[in-house]
Structure 1
Amino acid sequence: MTTTPTAFDPTRVAHLTGRFAPVTDEVDEAELSVVGELPADLDGVYLRNGPNPRFTPIGSYLFPIDGDGMLHGVWISGGRARYRNRFVRTPQVVAEERAGRALWGGLESMILPDADEVGPDLARTFKNLPDINVVRHAGRLLALAESDCPFLMGPELETLGKETFGGALPAGITAHPKVDPRTGEMAVFCYALEPPYLTWSLIGPDGVVRRGPTPVPALADPVMIHDMALTDRFLVLVLAPAVFDIDAAMKGGSFLSWRPENGTRIALIPRDGGTVRWAADDAFWVWHTVNAYDTTPDGNVVLDYVQWPSLNLGGAPATLSSGAHRGLTRAVVDPEAGTVHRTQLDDSRVEFPRIDDRLIGQQHHRTAVAADSGRVPDLLPGEYDALRWYDARNPTAAPQVWYAGDLSVGEPAYAASPGTTDAGRGYWMTFATDRTDETSWLLVVPAGDPGGGPVARVRIPVRVPLGLHGTWLPTEE
């Protein structure tokens, strides 16, 4: 049987405490209290997924990758709201619930239970971690993992099972697929520790895989890629030099090695299956893209994203090195010349960028982010106390800012007003937690005047741990 190393002390892991600490209660609340007034035209559910260990972790814990998934849902209709949260019950979570304790260690610990603990089917397997994101596509609600199979969820957040798309994508997909709003096609990728290190696929609007796993050539090492972007012509992947090093992990070292001498490459993968175009640049890291689009007549690709000087997992924010920068960034990629021209749009510490998803792959109008205002000295990595909105068509214009006071805010997701394509007629939504009493709220901010702050604050009956990704799903007709 496996044993737990005594060196690991979960009480000393910042992202297992305070506003990041997991919650274990699954709660249903039929009527939520609202400060302000919920817009009458909102009819749907705001869902957010995030790392939430079911039991106290053993061996290691690496935020934001480790942790069981938990979905938090706020259903809004007719100016009223209800709430429900549920764990994503993978086979490993079910086995741990049966044992009453954690059986799998964090990714860095390599603790894998034996058959006498979990049975032959789960013995020595890695834990499924669908704890990053949640999307709806082709009528399926998917809790998404980091390059692994998502889990299919029911309308009341019940876990229905692992989703392999009819067996066509057995290795899984990314935690950040992109759905083309004009065609309904969903583009995905999946990285792996063994060749081929990177594949991409396309899923039709009917949920059927149109293009199965297609290898991306010219990769010498397995690298971590968290997000992607999509244009009319290309899947856009940023390959930073975050290299998986299994040998080092087996000897007690880090399983991810930052190798800046390798530089960062951007892959433009034609959606029609043509030759992959590559562009090379100095090393930088990307957690999240904003959006990408093709430009005419030059044929370039514009990619907006949040840049970091290096990979940072679990610890302090990455420090700036000579010539490096962080913050909201625009890259113009020339597919023919293989060049990248980067422009820093804002040097503030920001993350979780979102747009109106109806504009994915097209020139977007507004970018929303969670931001560090600089007013709170003890925010943890992944914690933010303000929201910012940028005019993507006028990047030199000052952003609109809402300072959240005692609230720590998360990723802002856009909810369009039904029956209109006007981006100013919708709302931005995010969970927020009060640092003074750890109460959590759903904030609803009008897109027409976001700097004025929320028009409604919905009281959540349990604390919602900070991080990660959410989405607004309007009621389907």
Structure 2
Amino acid sequence: MTSHHAPFDPTRVAHLNGRFAPVTEEVDEADLHVVGELPEGLDGVYLRNGPNPRFTPIGSYLYPIDGDGMIHGVRLSQGRARYRNRFVRTPAMRAEEKAGRALWGGVESLIMPGPDQVGEELANNFKPLPDINVVQHAGRLLALAESDCPYRMSPELDTLGKETFDGGLPAGITAHPKIDPVTGEMTVFCYALEPPYLTWSVIAPDGTVSRGPTPVDGVEDPRMIHDMALTSRYLVLVLAPAVFDLDAAMKGGSFLAWRPERGTRVALIPRDGGPVRWADDEAFWLWHTVNAYDTPDEGRVVLDYVQWPALSLGQSPEPGPAAHGAHSGLTRAVIDPAAGTVRRTQLDDTRVELPRIDDRGIGRPHRHLATAAGSGRTEGLLPGEYDALRWYDLEDGTASSRLWAAGDLSVGEPVFAPTPGTHDSTDGHWLTYATDRTDHTSWLLVLPASDPAQGPVARVRIPVRVPLGLHGTWLPTEE
């Protein structure tokens, strides 16, 4: 199936060039060069997945949705570092490797190869794109797509195959499941182009599906939802008016339509299976939540997230051509399930994204969080590119912050690596990949959580450039 679009020139797509350009070399290198000193207690592997087309894209390219997955991993132990990167090899990628070129177009082009090119099983289907995130649960290391089956990876980052959770989740999940650190359950959701448009599920600590795909009542059209939040009582989903329009895409229009007149709705889905509670608000968009938690006294839900006024994908993960000025910043929403209302407060209007907390605090009140940020000192940054890291302290509902400006480095999502045996979110280190804008060398940065604004205590030189974006995880070595 092929739709009609204007000629596509990948050399003119900013997110296929420069610091975002894909790499094709798979590398395994030990004894990496370290500037500074790696902390003695830092023992584990930092993994990050992100869009990395195996071949030059055809038809269209929509960052950060398009692109094959590549996982970059740095193993840290006893003050030494080792690097390995591998593609997430789906059957579609293997077919393209056999052909020596791209066979599928970007999601907006709807170019799909026929059975004469890839066989009956792969023909005329969307290409799997497990290129957004990587998580581990119940012994499974999963490369995650936007709304599709994840792919299971080995500890050495070899692709083991599509993961359906023993057939319990055949349609897959989205890229941001949440693991409850208290129960060990992984709660997931999945959106679709046909009814039921939205479902949620639960995967037990042992990896079995304890709740199969459960439709979310009250969803009347197919909407894009990138992230979720979890509290001790609820799964929290924010349904912005980003509506899929396949008919428009077939005629050369946008696959996603922004329809602000429909407003944004927040679904509070009881984890015990009770009726969905809805709250309505004016239209806004979010890519990423920080965290959510219940207020025991009034039965409300607090949700922290990074807010955008609208979604306009174009060639950017941020809205519109003037995305830097359209940012709404770090926001807190208090959702009242009884009244069906949302009360929003802007905590900070600084340009930030990719927020993370100490994952051991998911679903419970949080105090500290980290983000990628703009320092305001660098000209020419692309949407989705950041030159600083910012840390927030939300004590008493305020949002004091500290900034580390990265100079010539463009930085990615910060991920927290706690010191073993401790429970304090300031006792550990923040990790992120960074790429130097002057020479395109890439580094793993290690910053102390006790005083991150002082900058890295160690920088690990990565032997290949790591393209900017997207999400990662820290997996400590099991004793």
> Which TM-score band (shorter chain)?
over 0.9
Counterpart position of 2:335: 333
**Which of 409, 412, 429 is matched with 2:411 structurally?**
409
1:113–1:124 Cα contact (<8 Å) kept = yes
Q: Which moved more, 1:46-55 or 1:369-378?
A: 369-378
Q: Which moved more, 1:17-26 or 1:388-397?
A: 388-397
Following the alignment from structure 1 to structure 2, what is the Cα–Cα distance between the partners of residues 381 and 6?
Answer: 23
Displacement of 1:296 after TM fit? 1.8
Letter in 2 for 1:131: D
Counterpart position of 1:88: 88
Counterpart position of 2:319: 318
Displacement of 1:92 after TM fit? 0.4
Displacement of 1:395 after TM fit? 4.3
Q: Is 2:180 the partner of 1:180?
A: yes
- Total equivalences in the alignment: 475
Counterpart position of 1:103: 103
Following the alignment from structure 1 to structure 2, what is the Cα–Cα distance between the partners of residues 6 and 313?
Answer: 17
1:372-451 equivalent positions in 2, closer than 5 A? 372-451=374-453
1:148–1:174 Cα contact (<8 Å) kept = yes
Displacement of 1:125 after TM fit? 1.2
Q: Is 2:283 the partner of 1:286?
A: no
Query: TM-score by structure 1 length?
Result: 0.98
Q: Secondary structure at the match of 2:83?
A: strand
User: Taking structure 1 as reference, are residues 325 and 100 closer, same or farther at Cα in structure 2, changes over 3 Å only?
Assistant: closer
Q: Secondary structure at the match of 1:424?
A: coil
1:90-169 equivalent positions in 2, closer than 5 A? 90-169=90-169
Letter in 1 for 2:414: P
Counterpart position of 1:71: 71
Q: Secondary structure at the match of 1:287?
A: strand
> Deviation string for 1:34-54 (max 9, x for gaps)?
000000101100000000000
Q: Is 2:8 the partner of 1:20?
A: no
> Deviation string for 1:282-338 (max 9, x for gaps)?
0000100000000121010000000000013244643699xx961100000001000
Q: Secondary structure at the match of 2:378?
A: coil
2:13–2:315 Cα contact (<8 Å) kept = no
Following the alignment from structure 1 to structure 2, what is the Cα–Cα distance between the partners of residues 145 and 121?
Answer: 20
Q: Secondary structure at the match of 1:329?
A: strand
Unaligned runs of 5+ residues in structure 2 are none
Counterpart position of 1:247: 247
User: Taking structure 1 as reference, are residues 325 and 106 closer, same or farther at Cα in structure 2, changes over 3 Å only?
Assistant: closer
User: Taking structure 1 as reference, are residues 3 and 56 closer, same or farther at Cα in structure 2, changes over 3 Å only?
Assistant: farther
Q: Share of identical aligned residues, percent?
A: 76
1:424–1:448 Cα contact (<8 Å) kept = yes
Letter in 2 for 1:342: R
Displacement of 1:3 after TM fit? 10
1:176–1:226 Cα contact (<8 Å) kept = yes
1:229–1:237 Cα contact (<8 Å) kept = yes
Counterpart position of 1:59: 59
Letter in 2 for 1:214: T
User: Taking structure 1 as reference, are residues 251 and 139 closer, same or farther at Cα in structure 2, changes over 3 Å only?
Assistant: same
Following the alignment from structure 2 to structure 1, what is the Cα–Cα distance between the partners of residues 426 and 236?
Answer: 28
Displacement of 1:6 after TM fit? 6.6
Counterpart position of 1:37: 37
Following the alignment from structure 2 to structure 1, what is the Cα–Cα distance between the partners of residues 46 and 145?
Answer: 19
Counterpart position of 1:273: 273
Displacement of 1:393 after TM fit? 2.1
Counterpart position of 1:203: 203
> Deviation string for 1:188-212 (max 9, x for gaps)?
0000000000000000000000000
2:313–2:319 Cα contact (<8 Å) kept = no
Letter in 1 for 2:367: H
> Deviation string for 1:395-450 (max 9, x for gaps)?
43430100000000000000010011121111000000000000000000000001
> Deviation string for 1:2-23 (max 9, x for gaps)?
6996710000000000000000
2:75–2:81 Cα contact (<8 Å) kept = yes
Displacement of 1:128 after TM fit? 0.3
Q: Secondary structure at the match of 2:143?
A: strand
Letter in 2 for 1:376: T
Following the alignment from structure 1 to structure 2, what is the Cα–Cα distance between the partners of residues 246 and 195?
Answer: 14
2:178–2:228 Cα contact (<8 Å) kept = yes
> Deviation string for 1:108-146 (max 9, x for gaps)?
001000111111111111100000000000010000001
User: Taking structure 1 as reference, are residues 55 and 315 closer, same or farther at Cα in structure 2, changes over 3 Å only?
Assistant: closer
User: Taking structure 1 as reference, are residues 470 and 74 closer, same or farther at Cα in structure 2, changes over 3 Å only?
Assistant: same
Following the alignment from structure 1 to structure 2, what is the Cα–Cα distance between the partners of residues 200 and 253?
Answer: 30
> Deviation string for 1:245-272 (max 9, x for gaps)?
0110010100100000000000000000
CA RMSD of aligned residues (A): 1.5
User: Taking structure 1 as reference, are residues 3 and 315 closer, same or farther at Cα in structure 2, changes over 3 Å only?
Assistant: closer
Following the alignment from structure 1 to structure 2, what is the Cα–Cα distance between the partners of residues 360 and 369?
Answer: 16
**Which of 441, 451, 454 is matched with 1:452 structurally?**
454
Counterpart position of 1:353: 355
